Structure 1
Amino acid sequence: MTNVHETVASLADEILNDLAGSRTALIYAPNTIGKTRLAQYLKERDPDGVVLYNSFIEDVFTWDNERVVLKVNPASELLETIVTQGLDSAIIDNFKAFTSGRIEPRLDFESGEVGFGIHKGDDSSTDGIKISRAEESIFVWSVYYSVLSEAVETLRDNPELRSTPNYDQLTLAVIDDPVSSMDDVRIVSVALALAELVKRASELDLKFVIATHHALFFNVLFNSLRRRSDRAYVLAQSTAEGWTLAKQSKDAPFSYHLGIVKDIQKAISENAIERVHFNQFRALLEKTANFLGHTGGWGELLVGPDASLMTKILNLYSHDRFADIDTSAVAEEYKDAFKSEFQEFLKTFRWADAA
């Protein structure tokens, strides 16, 4: 029987209890379900024992558009760790590996700045490049990944031989959707590297909680970490009842999407549409597009009269950095467009038959 959790604390307890007999909890859930709240709670519950990655880490880095550099908050723990452990080269190498490109970051921690350029060693070299939003996400992930990799390698050493005691208290790595804005090739690259890091930590007393809304990221990690000591879940939320955490035995949480259809249909019938339903709809579109091989993406599946508006709304709600904690209120205009496009989608792609 699946437990229903009215609080984040209760949800976290179930995950941590399961981790007592496993090493990894891989969680699939659309945005606005509560991944950010869960990740923040786990960090606040044990600040010294948890190393956290989520969208708020990006706040450590801000663009100076006039000077075309990424400024680093000098008070951040990440910066202190990077400087203390000398992780500059690791960050650069990881960024280049994840991007498979020629762009190279230059880290100047005395000034708290990161510049980007193409460095060929000749007159064609270029500095002061404004990188894309996806490349910025990869850079931030490269910083976290480098710190986490250093922690794992340090903890693998005999305690008497460790270069620093700073990681000794770590018991949990919590990673919340590191692949926002990335394309599929980079998502696969990040997932495979993370899976290898989890495997390197398999003999340590360090557990992992990895949450994502991206089906491909979930799929790659699930298949890379498919061992008895790993657990996979689908996280869902009912406004009236609370969160449920269903164990997942397959690499694609397709059956969950049948539940999404029923949840949305119920919300429409009860005139109770919230932001969570928009993100569930997008997850449904993404899954269907992947299944049917639509290379142009999920937007191709919106074919009704409000397709353009619905695409904009779904992008807005899905990529809002604070989607998990913002208001659930939805404008009536958006609700009407949602009803129209959802019904058209069910009819066109025969989800009504499956539900």
Structure 2
Amino acid sequence: MAKTNKYKTLNGLVSKYRDDLKEVDYLLLFAHNGVGKTRTSMEFKDKGKRLNNGNGDTLYFNAYTEDLFIWDNDIIGDTDRHIKLTTTSNFFRGFKTLALEEKIFSHLERYATFDFRFDYDNSKVIFSKNEKNPQYHPNNGKPEYITNENVKISRGEENLFKWCFYLTLCELAIEDEEGTGPYNWVRNFYIDDPISSLDDNNAIGVATDLISLTKKSKGKIKTIISTHHSLFYNVLWNELRGEKTKRYFLYKNKKEELTLQLTDDTPYFHHVALLAELKTAADNNKVYSYHFNALRSILEKTASFFGKKDFRFCLEEMEDEILYNRALNLLSHGKYSIYQPVELADDNKDLFKNIIYDFIDKYEFEVVQLNS
């Protein structure tokens, strides 16, 4: 049985986190919604202030961070739409003194096609998009695309912008080798579920870019990441191989105690959650290329649990064992196929469904149906 630690208060839990970070560079936490991930991140931040005479040591990203960006939709005029920044927060300490736009855009262009600019005097962000010109014709001399200013971007695009803003601040803190910049106080990054309203492709991109950036710190700044998203967690798990990391499943037991269960040696609960996600994809007929990667990963971990070296162990005695083996080898082939979210053809969807249903039946998993 994996080692567990139980806590009756958030203070005790975050003290454990801070003790762990004296030994490792990363804490990776999987927890379902409702456990208190956001409250825990705020308690970690507050504890840092108590330990440092009121001075913070944690640059965090959570639901409170997102609330620092406030939409003004110009209800009366319906033209001057923008986001107002709450610049009294330490989060925006370098807003007017540093040229952030270019750095933010270097992250944003990985995910999105819209543009933005800052109104520094009024602490505003104004968004624009290049859109097809309805009056365009090859022979009428009008431009094919026109720029629409002051646009209202989607919720997913908005979250991407906020995330790229945060990544830029992390980058500034990491690059401040002399310790003289506006983010020289940062000793920890605490990131709680940064992928709300994002599709799976962007969720994977966020995970890989985050780890790529934080590795540049080389342990100078510690990183905590908590999430309920099993695919996101799975990618983070793989990206952090070889790094000094502790991985936990966080949940509440029957006594309502916060419980940390180590999952370093064997991936426990997050793979069961991922299996539920894959079954939901199969049930809803929404099967993409990366789902085969995730399924193969689960089979590999299951085989390892039984002391076997090859995922084919899990397929033994299934009626279509040979076909399943060929499909998993072919459709999960290549290190980066998980990053190409292509919806599968109907015959491959059916094949995926048959494999996962037979696998669940063989090992008698009790898989909870997730919301579609």
TM-score, length basis structure 1: 0.69
Q: Deviations over 1:164-198 (max 9, x none)?
A: 34333322111111101100111111111101012
- Determine the structure 1 residue equivalent to 2:297: none
- Determine the structure 2 residue equivalent to 1:198: 214
Instruction: Give the structure, 1 or 2, with the largest relative contact order (CA under 8 Å, sep 6 or more).
Output: 1
Contact 1:107 1:113 in 2 (8 A): yes
- Determine the structure 1 residue equivalent to 2:168: 146
Structure 2 unaligned runs (5+)?
Answer: 50-55, 75-79, 132-142, 289-359, 367-372
1:53 paired to 2:61: yes
Structure 1 unaligned runs (5+)?
Answer: 259-282, 298-348
Where does 1:86-97 land on structure 2 (aligned, <5 Å)? 86-97=99-110
Structure with a larger share of its residues in helix: 1
- Determine the structure 2 residue equivalent to 1:136: 158
- Determine the structure 1 residue equivalent to 2:239: 224
Q: Matched residue of 2:260: which SS? A: strand
Larger Rg: 2
Q: Deviations over 1:135-167 (max 9, x none)?
A: 11111111111101111111xx3x3xx5x3433
Amino acid at match of 1:6: K
Identify the match of residue 211 of structure 1 among 211, 226, 248.
226
C-alpha distance in 2 between matches for 1:251 and 1:146: 34
1:111 paired to 2:122: yes
Contact 2:127 2:150 in 1 (8 A): yes
C-alpha distance in 2 between matches for 1:254 and 1:42: 24
- Determine the structure 2 residue equivalent to 1:78: 91
1:21 paired to 2:23: yes
- Determine the structure 2 residue equivalent to 1:169: 185
TM-score, length basis structure 2: 0.66
Amino acid at match of 1:50: T
Structure 1 351/183 Cα, relative in aligned 2: closer, same or farther at 3 Å? farther
Q: Deviations over 1:23-68 (max 9, x none)?
A: 0001011111111111000101114211111111111111111222
Amino acid at match of 1:49: D
- Determine the structure 1 residue equivalent to 2:111: 98
Offset of residue 79 of structure 1: 2.7
Where does 1:335-350 land on structure 2 (aligned, <5 Å)? none
- Determine the structure 1 residue equivalent to 2:72: 64
1:288 paired to 2:262: no
Q: Deviations over 1:61-92 (max 9, x none)?
A: 11111222112123232333222222121112
- Determine the structure 2 residue equivalent to 1:266: none
C-alpha distance in 1 between matches for 2:260 and 2:237: 16
C-alpha distance in 1 between matches for 2:29 and 2:170: 20
Structure 1 8/352 Cα, relative in aligned 2: closer, same or farther at 3 Å? farther
> What is the RMSD of the two structures over their aligned residues, measured on CA atoms?
2.8
Q: Once the two structures are aligned, what percentage of the paired residues are identical? A: 29
- Determine the structure 2 residue equivalent to 1:39: 41
- Determine the structure 2 residue equivalent to 1:6: 8
- Determine the structure 2 residue equivalent to 1:313: none
Where does 1:220-299 land on structure 2 (aligned, <5 Å)? 220-238=235-253, 240-249=255-264, 253-254=268-269, 257=272, 285-286=276-277, 288-289=279-280, 294-295=285-286
Q: Matched residue of 2:237: which SS? A: helix
